């Protein structure tokens, strides 16, 4: 894989990850762009001990443009996009409308004595999986999935080294039902200036389990139990297992985990990276076959924090959809949105069986 870093017209970084070692990336960004926005503002919520990012500039981001105006397609001699090259394999660039940024923002302050503020330091990047606008991740070939995984490993390592970054989150949103604003196959990476609430809860549970068991790894023990029970296992190979969690929150939710406990994507070895693609592609295609239509989903990599409690983490991918039937969606209504208590309409064992049948 050949890695080439360039700068866009407004100074943002773009990195090409090419599958050919002789790829040349010399096409410049011909656009006249305004400077990137400053960092967002973080506001502390003392009632739940969480930070909320206020990024008002994101209101102006591009929303579902027609295909001939897609900013993630390759450039042409007649039109320049976010990707200056006329073709590419995988490309990663700084988001033009970031939730977090390493550019200066408002200094730290306070709204009230209980509500401090600070800059939303970090970084947000866009990951383009293919130059083909009408494709999808499920239609990629396994070698391209390996390229994407190597790119995510590269970016996780680089972003983990930025000052103030505490956690790196790689994910893909797919489908307008999820809230996607660009149809071109792409994912995103968020480098947070704090450990996220979900991860903090998982780490706290892992810490309690380690204390009770004399050092046991909670996720590894859960994975071993699911592999032994088999009821909710959807598919597996030598290095990975895909299973529906026993307490799945979403109608269709699958965890895809490496058998060897590792903290993050960069820690995966070559055999694990090669084995991931075929199993993940099979899983995505099962999702699409469930209702004979493209399944809206969120694909979320859970990685250990950059600096703290890395020994408690176990890398895994959480894939889930809000679609519960061919014509029905799962909405986060009163119980889920206000109280954080999920109520699942489909038994996890039933979901696992349906996904097995969709092979």
Q: In order along the chain (359 residues), what is the average pLDDT of each group of 10 residues?
A: 97 98 94 96 98 95 95 97 98 97 94 98 98 98 98 98 97 97 98 98 98 97 98 98 98 98 98 98 98 98 97 97 98 97 98 97
Number of C-beta neighbours around residue 58 at 10 A: 16
pLDDT on residue 270: 98
Q: What angle do CA 157, 198, 339 make, to 5 degrees?
A: 160
Question: Nearest-CA neighbor of 190 among 177, 172, 208, 178?
Answer: 172
Helices (H), the chain: 142-160, 197-213, 218-229, 270-290, 348-357
Say if CB 127 and CB 92 are below 8 A apart: yes
CA dist., res. 267 & res. 102, Å (int):
25
pLDDT on residue 55: 96
Element (H, E) at 259: none
Q: In which residue are the tokens 């970090």 written?
A: 122
Largest CA-CA distance found in the chain, in angstroms, rounded: 64
CA dist., res. 149 & res. 176, Å (int):
24
Q: What are phi and psi of 211, to 5 degrees?
A: -70, -40
Classified by CATH at the fold level, domain 2-194 comes out as HIT family, subunit A (3.30.428)
49 in the Ramachandran plot: left (φ > 0), alpha (ψ -120 to 50) or beta? left
Q: In which residue are the tokens 């976010």 written?
A: 82
**Chain centre distance of CA 349:** 26
pLDDT on residue 128: 98
Catalytic residues: 186
Helices (H), 251-329: 270-290
Q: What are phi and psi of 212, to 5 degrees?
A: -70, -35
pLDDT on residue 159: 98
Number of C-beta neighbours around residue 18 at 10 A: 20
Say if CB 17 and CB 147 are below 8 A apart: yes
CA dist., res. 99 & res. 39, Å (int):
8
Q: Where in the chain is the domain with CATH 3.30.428.10?
A: 2-194, 216-262+270-357
Classified by CATH at the fold level, domain 216-262+270-357 comes out as HIT family, subunit A (3.30.428)
**Chain centre distance of CA 63:** 20
pLDDT on residue 242: 99
Q: In which residue are the tokens 């004979």 written?
A: 292
pLDDT on residue 320: 98
pLDDT on residue 333: 96
CA dist., res. 107 & res. 209, Å (int):
39
Number of C-beta neighbours around residue 286 at 10 A: 22
**Chain centre distance of CA 53:** 18
Say if CB 316 and CB 255 are below 8 A apart: yes
Calculated CA dihedral for residues 168, 195, 98, 107, nearest 10 degrees: -130
DSSP per-residue letters across 22-91: T-----------PPPPPPEEEEEETTTTEEEEE-GGGGGS--S--GGG-TTSBP-SS---SB-SSS-SEE
């Amino acid at each position: 894989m050949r890695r080439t870093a360039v700068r866009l017209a407004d100074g943002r970084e773009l990195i090409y990850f090419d599958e050919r070692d002789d790829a040349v990336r010399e096409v410049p960004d011909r656009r006249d762009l305004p400077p990137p926005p400053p960092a967002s503002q973080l506001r502390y919520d003392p009632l739940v001990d969480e930070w909320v990012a206020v990024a008002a500039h994101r209101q102006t981001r591009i929303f579902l443009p027609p295909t001939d105006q897609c900013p993630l397609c390759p450039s042409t001699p007649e039109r320049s996009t976010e990707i200056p090259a006329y073709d590419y394999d995988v490309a990663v660039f700084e988001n033009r409308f970031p939730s977090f940024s390493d550019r200066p923002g408002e200094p730290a302050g306070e709204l009230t004595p209980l509500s401090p503020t600070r800059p939303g330091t970090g970084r947000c990047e866009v990951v383009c999986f293919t130059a083909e606008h009408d494709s999808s991740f499920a239609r990629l070939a396994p070698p391209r999935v390996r390229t994407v995984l190597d790119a995510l490993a590269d970016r996780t390592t680089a972003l983990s080294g930025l000052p103030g970054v505490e956690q790196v989150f790689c994910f893909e949103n797919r489908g307008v039902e999820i809230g996607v604003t660009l149809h071109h196959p792409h994912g995103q990476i968020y480098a947070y200036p704090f450990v996220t609430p979900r991860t903090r809860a998982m780490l706290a549970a892992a810490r309690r389990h380690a204390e009770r068991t004399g050092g046991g790894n909670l996720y590894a023990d859960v994975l071993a139990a699911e592999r032994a029970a088999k009821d909710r296992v959807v598919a597996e190979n030598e290095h990975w297992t895909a299973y529906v969690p026993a307490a799945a929150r979403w109608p269709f939710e699958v965890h895809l985990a490496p058998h060897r406990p590792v903290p993050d994507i960069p820690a995966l070895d070559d055999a694990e990276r090669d084995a991931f693609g075929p199993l993940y592609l099979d899983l995505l295609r099962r999702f699409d076959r469930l209702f004979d239509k493209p399944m809206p989903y969120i694909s979320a990599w859970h990685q250990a924090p950059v600096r703290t409690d890395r020994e408690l983490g176990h890398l895994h991918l959480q894939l889930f959809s809000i679609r519960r039937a061919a014509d029905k969606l799962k909405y986060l209504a009163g119980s889920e949105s206000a109280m954080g208590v999920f109520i699942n309409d489909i038994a996890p064992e039933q979901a696992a069986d349906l996904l097995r049948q969709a092979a």
